[in-house]
Chains A and B, each alone.
Chain A
Amino acid sequence: MRFVIVLALAVLTALSAPSPFGRATPASAAEEPYKIGAIFSITGPGSSLGIPERDTAVMIETDVNARGGIKGPDGKLHPVKLVIYDDGSDETKAVLAAKKLIDEDRVTAIVGTTLSGTSLAITDAVQKAQIPMVSCAAAIKIVEPVAERRWIFKTPQSDHLIVAVLTDYLKAKGLTRIGWLNVDYAFGQLGWIEFEKAARELGLTVAANEKFGQKDVDMTAQLTRVKAANPQAVVIWSIPPSASIATKNYADLGLRAPLFQSHGIGNMKFIELAGPGANGVTFPAGKLLVAEQLADNDAQKSVLLTYARDFEARFGPRNTFGGHAWDAVQLAVRAMAKAGPDRAKVRDAIETTRNFVGITGIFDFSPSDHNGLDRRAVTMIQIVDGQWKLAR
């Protein structure tokens, strides 16, 4: 019995004691560092998004500190300190990570999480703690209703923006009979909800509606059903590897209808994995992938090219997920430059950010819009000879 109590006490102490290494601050630090917390899905199913997000965040921290830090409202340079935790793509771990950032690390703002599920799981804690948070996940429920999401912002385009650009494109090309497939988790389901709505408004017919799992090894059964429905175009809403397998299966089955996909395939890996089947695939996405092809007067062009060059020099091919983190961390950094380490003032500074030229788009936040993007943040891209091309 004594053993039980001793163990219980030991666990309690372990949980409440400050880390034995954590308090060592370098004596040379000139000014109090500005602390920003970050939660990314570095492991688990969301890790292909979370790792480029983490890499981007670390890159910004290094670059800002190389310039001496953030010049705060007090006119002094403060080094920026990022505290990054992994949530393992798990809701429970995300909640614990958020509370640790809020209460133990006492950060001024939180960047992340990576996935919609983990972001929604921590909204309650974030709202109650009154700390600004900039999510890198897409679901619109993360920032709406705004009245209940006063402290929460997000950088990825909402699904309805992405889908609207796609459905307008389909309509303009005279493709009205559509076969649809989506992956069976939140990303695919939210895409389907918006697509069904937009299709109804534009008078598109959904000839087939199928699902597959992200870990499935073969989608030919679903595609056979889609083929039998004889659509004019097919849309697959998923991310690699399942999106790549479906694309290969699509070519193997000899389907001829033009294939459309989502912004979830916005990295070079998709093309590498899907092989020749990727050619001709058209998808809506942010402009990062085709930064070089943008008109010179495009306001985002220079920001995009700089980020793409910096990221590719350190970590490998660019992808839109890292861009979401770039926007989120930069928003926090800029707000802290304006408002200092004060949670409420930083929140106000983010909400009043206008005309911020980011990677995902040009952000105009307001008390009624915590995403701040419009359809200009989305463009249609086609894969031609294994390269991204602006689609006409």
Chain B
Amino acid sequence: MTARARWTTLSVIGAAAMLLPSLIGSSYVLSALIFVGLNAIAALGLTLVMGFAGQVSLGQAAFYAIGAYVSGVLSVSYGWNTWAALAASVLAGALIALLVGLPIFRLSGLLLAMATLGFGIIVYYVLVNWSAVTGGPSGLTGIPPLRIGPIRLDTDARVVRLVWICLLLLLGLTGNLMDSRVGRALRAIHGSEAAAQAAGIDTGRLKLGIFTLAGAMTALAGGLYAYYLAFVNPSPFSFAYSIELVLIVAVGGVGSLWGAPLGAAAVVGLVEGLRALLPHLTTSHGAAEYEIVVFGLVLMALMIALPQGLTGLSRRSA
């Protein structure tokens, strides 16, 4: 897709994102769209890491947590302006990704996956045990909403616009990045790392840069999550969420930036769809146990049918 076509598409979706909330009355649907957007922003960074730098991070939930907790702690305990706290959380995400990445991005393949997995779990235990700052396992309440002038971004209709504008901007900007010299270099690495190195590309620095960018984006999603829910606790940031992000990227497809929003929409849509549908197919109140079985089976069927993910489908049909 050319840059112009991409920005046109993004503008169309953006206009829809601005208009739709006024048409959709249900805060449930808006809320689902917010979580799709948050997951997509978090997964976008991981798509870059997996699809373009060719590495799997199994600890991405840690950056989501860092974003949520830096925003939450700075706004609640230190009374920071919420936007400043959000910016700080993005910076923190980038900085920590850089610091962590410096040593561990010398690893590759499984070792890197293991190191990121370990990092994710260490961050989780810090959240649980460092009660004086994080509130421990029971979390942090009373996080104020973001506000633009007098407008408090505390309704679903307002938050959904904010989240989707962030997502679309990031999609456009990362798209531009991928068209640039950096993007070509990254694709070269994905093709053959040795060849890229022979062509004079500093592959280590590029990968580290991508990891840092991913850390910042995931932290942004985490910060938005904290302001939306007004509450953070450690349990959403466990190993299971890191796996869910990998899942979203794989379902969406690693070959394209569109994989992140598509994967996020598919996973949230599947969970909510099953919730709506299954009670009608089984006994009225015993459905929840079936939901996870069916979710697992659908996931397997999806991967067997579309091993390249959803964006692989569009390439095949095109």
> Which residues of A156-198 have CB atoms within 8 Å of chain B's CB atoms?
184-186, 188-190
Interface string of B198-229 (1 = CB under 8 A from A): 00000000000000000000000000000001
Out of A8, A43, A129, name the residue touching B289 (CB < 8 Å): A43
B269–A124 CB distance below 8 A: no
> Which residues of A95-126 have CB atoms within 8 Å of chain B's CB atoms?
95-97, 99-100, 102-104, 116-117, 120-121, 123-125
Interface string of B124-136 (1 = CB under 8 A from A): 0000110100001
> Which residues of A1-55 have CB atoms within 8 Å of chain B's CB atoms?
1, 3-5, 7-8, 11-12, 14-16, 19, 21-22, 42-43, 54
B32–A15 CB distance below 8 A: yes
A121–B229 CB distance below 8 A: yes
Out of A42, A125, A139, name the residue touching B288 (CB < 8 Å): A42
- Verify if B22 is at the interface (C-beta below 8 Å from A): no
Given contacts A11-B266, A16-B29, A99-B27, contact A4 B258 (CB under 8 A): yes
Which interface residue of B156, B258, B261, B276 has the most chain A CB atoms within 10 A?
B276
- Contacting residues, chain A, for B265 (C-beta < 8 A): 7-8, 11
- Contacting residues, chain A, for B262 (C-beta < 8 A): 4, 7-8
Name the residue of chain A whose CB is nearest to the CB of B271. A93
Given contacts A120-B139, A186-B233, A189-B137, contact A22 B289 (CB under 8 A): no
- Verify if A236 is at the interface (C-beta below 8 Å from B): no
Distance of B204 from chain A, by nearest CB (Å) = 33
What is the bound-complex CA distance between A4 and B27, given in angstroms? 24
Out of B31, B273, B318, name the residue touching A95 (CB < 8 Å): B31
Given contacts A7-B265, A96-B28, A100-B28, contact A1 B138 (CB under 8 A): no
- Verify if B24 is at the interface (C-beta below 8 Å from A): yes
Distance of B309 from chain A, by nearest CB (Å) = 12
A4–B314 CB distance below 8 A: yes
Interface string of B14-35 (1 = CB under 8 A from A): 0000001000111111011101
Interface string of A292-331 (1 = CB under 8 A from B): 0000000000000000000000000000000000000000
A positions within 8 Å CB-CB of B:
1, 3-5, 7-8, 11-12, 14-16, 19, 21-22, 42-43, 54, 58, 82, 84-86, 88-93, 95-97, 99-100, 102-104, 116-117, 120-121, 123-125, 128-129, 139, 141, 148, 184-186, 188-190, 211
A90–B33 CB distance below 8 A: no
- Verify if B118 is at the interface (C-beta below 8 Å from A): no
- Contacting residues, chain A, for B276 (C-beta < 8 A): 19, 22
- Verify if B292 is at the interface (C-beta below 8 Å from A): yes
Distance of A61 from chain B, by nearest CB (Å) = 8
B31–A184 CB distance below 8 A: no
What is the bound-complex CA distance between A14 and B262, given in angstroms? 14
A95–B229 CB distance below 8 A: yes
- Contacting residues, chain A, for B266 (C-beta < 8 A): 11
Chain B contact residues: over half helix, strand or loop, or mixed? helix
Distance of A209 from chain B, by nearest CB (Å) = 12
Which interface residue of B138, B142, B277, B289 has the most chain A CB atoms within 10 A?
B138
Size of the chain B interface, CB-CB below 8 angstroms:
58
B288–A43 CB distance below 8 A: yes
A103–B291 CB distance below 8 A: no
Given contacts A91-B233, A95-B229, A117-B233, contact A15 B138 (CB under 8 A): no
B138–A139 CB distance below 8 A: yes
Interface string of B102-141 (1 = CB under 8 A from A): 0000000000000000000000000011010000111101
Q: Which 8 A-B pairs have the closest CB atoms?
A: A86-B288, A42-B288, A21-B280, A99-B28, A3-B314, A186-B137, A186-B138, A124-B230
A99–B280 CB distance below 8 A: no
Which interface residue of A8, A96, A188 has the most chain B CB atoms within 10 A?
A96
- Verify if B310 is at the interface (C-beta below 8 Å from A): yes
What is the bound-complex CA distance between A189 and B288, given in angstroms? 29
What is the bound-complex CA distance between A148 and B33, given in angstroms? 27
- Contacting residues, chain B, for A82 (C-beta < 8 A): 285
What is the bound-complex CA distance between A82 and B284, given in angstroms? 10
Out of B128, B129, B138, B235, name the residue touching A91 (CB < 8 Å): B235
Out of B5, B25, B142, B269, name the residue touching A14 (CB < 8 Å): B269
- Contacting residues, chain A, for B9 (C-beta < 8 A): 1, 4-5
- Verify if B179 is at the interface (C-beta below 8 Å from A): no
What is the bound-complex CA distance between A163 and B24, given in angstroms? 48
Given contacts A42-B289, A184-B129, contact A96 B229 (CB under 8 A): no
A96–B35 CB distance below 8 A: yes
- Contacting residues, chain A, for B272 (C-beta < 8 A): 15, 96
B138–A103 CB distance below 8 A: no
B269–A103 CB distance below 8 A: no
New A-B pairs, 18, CB < 8 Å, besides A3-B314, A86-B287, A99-B31: A12-B20, A14-B269, A19-B276, A54-B288, A89-B235, A96-B28, A99-B26, A100-B275, A117-B233, A117-B235, A120-B231, A120-B233, A121-B233, A184-B128, A184-B137, A185-B235, A188-B137, A189-B136
Out of B129, B269, B317, name the residue touching A3 (CB < 8 Å): B317
- Contacting residues, chain A, for B141 (C-beta < 8 A): 120, 123, 141
- Contacting residues, chain B, for A91 (C-beta < 8 A): 229, 231, 233, 235-236
9 contacts between A and B (CB under 8 A): A3-B318, A12-B20, A15-B269, A84-B288, A86-B275, A88-B292, A99-B26, A121-B233, A186-B136
B138–A189 CB distance below 8 A: yes
A92–B25 CB distance below 8 A: no
B231–A121 CB distance below 8 A: yes
Out of B24, B26, B310, name the residue touching A7 (CB < 8 Å): B310
- Contacting residues, chain B, for A103 (C-beta < 8 A): 25-28
- Contacting residues, chain A, for B313 (C-beta < 8 A): 3
- Contacting residues, chain B, for A16 (C-beta < 8 A): 24, 26, 29
Interface string of B296-318 (1 = CB under 8 A from A): 00000000000000100110011
- Verify if B1 is at the interface (C-beta below 8 Å from A): yes
